[in-house]
Structures are given as C-alpha cells and as structure tokens.
Structure 1
Amino acid sequence: MAFELPPLPYPDTSLNDKGMSKETLDLHHGKHHRGYVNTLNGLVEKDPALQGKSLEELITLSTGKPDMAPVFNNAGQHYNHSMFWKSLSPNGGKIPPKLEKKIIEDFGSVEAFKDAFRKAATSQFGSGWAWLVLTPEGKLAITKTPNAASPLSEKQGKPLLTSDVWEHAYYLDFHNRRPDFITNFLDNLANYEFAEAEMLAG
C-alpha cells in the first residue's frame, strides 16, 4: 500500500497570524513533503524487499546503510514532516499543566526548556531538526538531528515535538533569521497540547 501525504490538521491560512504564511505551507507541505512521499513510493515499488513495511520499519531497516540512503532520506523526511505538521497549531504556544509541570521538573523552568530548544535548533549546522523527546528513562530532553535523521533513527527516545530548521521551513517568512523563527515557533506555533498527549501516552 502506497504511502500518502497526510493532510494538514488545520486550514493552510490558519497560521498566517502566527508567523507561518500560506505560501510557506503550500511550498513546504504541498511540494517538499509531497516530493518525499512520491520518491519513497517509487523506491518501494521497485524493491519487493521493502514492500509491506511500515514507515518506521523502513527507517530502522535503512539507518546507517549507505546503499539504502535514498530510502532512509525519503522515509525519514516523510516521518519528520508528518511529525512537524502535528507540532504546529493555530492555538500554539500555550503549555498545558501536566506538560508544564514535567518541563519544570526536568529543565528547571519553562524558560530553561525554551533556551535549550532554541540552542539546539540554532546550533544545528545546515539542515536538520530540533526535538523535544521523552527518553527511555522517562525524562524530557532536547536533541537535534541532521538532514533526515530523527530520534527514531538515533534511538534518542519518543519524539513529542519537533521544529524543522531546513531553510525552506522559514525562509519566506523569516529570511535568514533562524533564531527568530525558533522563538516564534516556541511562543506562538508549538502544539504543546499534542506534545502533552504524546507524553501521557507513554
């Protein structure tokens, strides 16, 4: 069964006032993400050994294997982008009580959490991702991954929230100001309710 581009979980104009334009979403979701899905489907179609496997299975299978780099890159980008759309919300920026309590417990304060996330996102050289994860030990942690890598491929824990720091994620709205994009993500776009639900699901 072919992989499909997931629909955005909100209207493509609903983040305009939050700092992410319809033009960015049209390009990022409708072109970039769709391209990864289409390429992945083409790769799977040509290789019977890949057919019938889940997205997570394809990522695990191809991690660290240079001969499977195209599969890893496109499966990883499909996985990461699918997570990114869920990490955004027209009502973003509001941290619900249970997640806030856990953030304060594990980072010391909400500001310390935001500072750690901002540092990870801005220090990721080139293209990549910043993540809030729940570690196997049950602690919240911040991590970053390059290109198509993720906490799944790097075995860093369960992803709860992510921000894309590839330039196409922010260049139309913030030009080269990645730090401003990340601050806006944390304060206005981040879907902390989704992160809390993922955390509570274990």
Structure 2
Amino acid sequence: MLRSALRLHRAIATPLASSFRPAARLHTVPPLPYTVEAGVSPLLSPTALKVIYADHLAGLVDRVNELIAGTQYEDKAFYEVLMDSARSLNELQLFNNASQAWNNDFFLRSLSSTPGKMSDALAKRIADCFGSVEVFRREFTTNALGLFGSGWTWLVEDRDGRLVLLNTYNAGSPHHRRRMQRHDETATNSDLVSQAQNPYSGVSRYSAPAKQMANNSYTPILCISMWEHAYLTDYGVTREGRQKYVETFFKTVDWSVVEGRVFRAGGF
C-alpha cells in the first residue's frame, strides 16, 4: 500500500520530482513558467519573487547538493532524496533542505498572473468536501492565518479521496507521516474541538485529523507559503498584511494546475 502511494505521489509531483535530475551529480532549480523580472501580479513583486526563487530556493538546492556529495543519495532523483531522507532518523538536515525546496517549487508552480479559472468540475469536487468553494476559501484562510511561525497551509487529498486542510511547520511535508511537523500531534479530541472554534488557531473541522497521522500520508493539491520571506517584502509583518497576502494568493492561483493535480490523484 505504501509503495503504491509513493508511486502516486511521484506521478503527480511538480518539476522538482521530474526536472531535478542528477546531472554530473548535481541538482538544478527548474525554470518557472513565468519570469522573476515580471513577478506574479498582484501577489508577488519581482523583488519578492527573487527572494523566494533566486535566493531562497536556489540556496536550498545548493545545500542539498553539498549534503549528498559522496553519499548514497548523490545519484538519486530529487524526489527520491526527499522521500529517502524522510524515512531516515539521521538525515534531518538533508530532509529539511530537500523538503523546503520541494514545497517552494510546488507553491510557485501553482501561481500565475493570468490564472486559469476554476472549472465547474473542480468547484463541485471542492463543494462535495467543504460544502462550498466559499467555505473552502474561508477555512483555508483561517488555517493559514492561524499558523503561528513559519510553515505551510495545504489542500491535500487523503487515501480515501477526501480533500482536507493540513498545516505543516518549518519544512514539514505532507508526503510522509514521520515528517509532517505538525503542532497538533499530541492534541486531544477536546483540544481540537476547542481550537476549531477559535478563528486564530489554524485548526478547523476540515483539517486533516492529527490522530490518524500514524496511518496517513497525503497527496498535495495546493499550498501557500507562510514563511516570513514569502510575504514580508510586499505585505509587512502585521496580521493585516498577512491576511492581505492570503487573500491576494487566491487571485493568482492557477486553477487549471490545481485541477490537474486533483484529477491525477483520482479525485473526479
């Protein structure tokens, strides 16, 4: 079951799973479908995009190359480096850099200044799981704004085909249950009910169940970076700035890309 799930994750992965191939034992950052000089209007200015892509993402890939040199990982595809290091208790530094690079690429590849609109089929798929597209956007925003510190808010598909929300901290990945880096792992059911009623908790009734984490990995569909470097340049550090960042994110989501991920995960 796990083996087939990993094949599925690789099949729907972004170019970090396919374009990051060893070339002279080095991984390179794949090009974006838009230019850094243009930014992603209205979400990311060229300056902000340079920080995320040309500085941060490139630095992460360089660090991965340093860490795998002369090791069992140096001839592996990038996604294999991510997953193999996730399984190892001794490769936290390698996992953090590989996962953070994959997450950033996945986030940036979801965006467009001229995004495709949400299809009726995708809207129905989301409504079936959240009640409506409006509820999904509201709950996704609540999760993102409730994430205290650096991390990611995800729309993911579980193994039963349900779309749910997931917050991971730092370089946490939905791909592997051991490396999700969730802050709710030890929460009781009573804690989660209480948190779901708090609009600033980052938890809702649509969140992936923490108690099932030991048996779950998830297929990523969409994510937003809630790392400070992603929003600081254009939106500042206030809660109001972060909220504007998340609201503007939805104006640049390329729903045709998202739909392809759901479809290939078996969602329709």
Could you state the TM-score of these two structures normalised by the residue count of structure 1?
Answer: 0.92
- Confirm whether residue 44 of structure 1 aligns to residue 44 of structure 2: no
SS of 1:63's equivalent in the other structure is helix
2:48–2:231 contact (8 Å) kept in structure 1: yes
- Hey, which of these two has a bigger chunk of helix by percent? 1
Question: Identity over the aligned pairs, expressed in percent?
Answer: 32
2:154–2:166 contact (8 Å) kept in structure 1: yes
| 1:106-117 alignment runs, 5 A limit | 106-117=129-140
Q: How far did residue 13 of structure 1 move?
A: 4.3
SS of 2:175's equivalent in the other structure is helix
Q: How far did residue 178 of structure 1 move?
A: 1.4
| 1:93-172 alignment runs, 5 A limit | 94-154=117-177, 155-172=216-233
Other-structure match for 2:45: 21
| 1:187-198 alignment runs, 5 A limit | 188-198=251-261
Deviation string, structure 1 residues 55-113 (Cα, Å, up to 9, x no partner)? 23222222265531110111101111110111111123732222111011110011110
Q: How far did residue 54 of structure 1 move?
A: 2.6
Q: How far did residue 16 of structure 1 move?
A: 5.1
Unpaired runs of 5+ in structure 1?
none
SS of 1:156's equivalent in the other structure is coil
Instruction: Give 1:185's match in structure 2, choosing from 233, 249, 259.
Output: 249
Other-structure match for 1:32: 56
SS of 1:144's equivalent in the other structure is strand
Could you state the TM-score of these two structures normalised by the residue count of structure 2?
Answer: 0.70
120-129 vs 92-101, which moves further: 92-101
User: Matched residues in 1 for 2:232 and 2:254: separation?
Assistant: 21
2:40–2:112 contact (8 Å) kept in structure 1: no
User: Matched residues in 2 for 1:118 and 1:156: separation?
Assistant: 22
1:63–1:153 contact (8 Å) kept in structure 2: yes
2:99–2:172 contact (8 Å) kept in structure 1: yes
> Cα RMSD over matched residues?
1.7
Q: Which has the larger radius of gyration?
A: 2
Q: Which amino acid aligns with 2:242?
A: R
User: Matched residues in 2 for 1:133 and 1:101: separation?
Assistant: 16
Deviation string, structure 1 residues 95-132 (Cα, Å, up to 9, x no partner)? 22221110111100111101111111111121111111
User: Matched residues in 2 for 1:165 and 1:133: separation?
Assistant: 16
User: Matched residues in 2 for 1:6 and 1:14: separation?
Assistant: 17
Q: Which amino acid aligns with 1:112?
A: V
SS of 2:153's equivalent in the other structure is strand
Unpaired runs of 5+ in structure 2?
1-21, 178-215
